[in-house]
Amino acid sequence: MNDTSPAGSALLQVDAPHRELLDQVLDKWSLQVLDVLCGKDLRFNELRRAIPAIGQKSLTASLRRLERNGMIERVVLQTRPVAVEYRIAPVGNTLNELVDALLRWTTENMPEVEQARERFDAVEG
């Protein structure tokens, strides 16, 4: 690759399948759903309580998307009335490890980020 070739990975382009997958599993709510399910299996309403800010509609959409991509499994327990349990799939666990790495990155770099923000806001203030 010489210095006139286009930089950047094609996998990150908005229409690329890899990028589409990232968008579907790392969206606003799925990040958190995945995270709480890594701790333990939970039922629908337990998830709602674990993530108080989420709405029914968003939780349902997030669960369906994560299930469709194989990150979690939906288990219908044959009780009366029926109960539904969600559990993390192995591949979902590997994704969560990367999310944890992102979280560690934010923690390590937060001081530097806040200094940058102060400098920026001071100029354009």
Partner DNA sequence: CGGTATCCCATGAGATACTG
Partner DNA sequence: CAGTATCTCATGGGATACCG
Binding residues for DNA (CB under 7 A)? 27-29, 43-46, 53-58, 60-61, 63, 74, 81-85
Helix (H) or strand (E) holding 19: helix 17-25
Partner whose footprint covers residue 31, from a second copy, DNA, none (CB < 5 to 8 Å by kind) = a second copy
Distance of closest approach, residue 7 Cβ to DNA, in angstroms: 16
CA distance 15 to 58: 24
CA distance 20 to 29: 16
The residue from 39, 62, 86, 93 that contacts a second copy (CB under 8 A) is: 39
CA distance 101 to 40: 20
- Identify the CA nearest to 98 among candidates 69, 67, 71, 62: 71
26 CA to centre of own chain: 3
Distance of closest approach, residue 101 Cβ to DNA, in angstroms: 22
Binding site for a second copy (CB under 8 A): 3, 6-9, 11-15, 17-18, 21-23, 26, 28, 31-32, 35-40, 42, 50-51, 53, 67-70, 91, 94-95, 98-103, 105-107, 109-110, 112-113, 115-117, 120-121
